[in-house]
Amino acid sequence: MSVSTSNAYGKISISDLAIAKVASWAAVESYGIVDTVARRFTDTIAELLKREASGKGVKISTQGNRIFIEVYVIIKYGVSIEAVAESLKESIKYKVESFTGMIVDTVNVNVMGLKL
């Protein structure tokens, strides 16, 4: 799937993978986030086979011009999970909205583990 918009110059389509890459980069750059992780075992196999270059740990759903994001992360031990998750949501929302020009409806953060 992809999100699309039109303007006076033509139509713009942005793939879910491109959006996932932006969200993944925003996650890894955020304070307290160690890494993003695959959501399922099959995603891990696909990553090992290099079928999906990036965007791991991010699931994108679109409906019209609205974007729904699920992100799966490992958080650094000792930080406030709530504060890191809220900061991560805001960072992803801002970066994806400025990249796509579309509205990010929800960003759900799934903490899959902690790391020292």
What pLDDT does 105 receive? 93
Q: What is the pLDDT of residue 95?
A: 95
pLDDT at 71: 95
Of the CA atoms within 13 Å of residue 95, those in its CB half-sphere come to 21
47: pLDDT strictly greater than 60: no
Confidence band (pLDDT; 50, 70, 90) for 40?
low
DSSP state, residue 52: S
**Contacts (Cβ under 8 Å, ≥6 apart) of 41:** none
Query: CATH for 11-115?
Result: 3.30.70.1350
Q: What's residue 43's pLDDT?
A: 56
Tell me the pLDDT of the chain averaged across its residues: 86
Domain boundary assignment for the chain: 11-115
List, for residues 53-99, the tens digit of each pLDDT value. Answer: 567 889 999 887 789 999 999 999 999 999 999 999 999 999 999 99
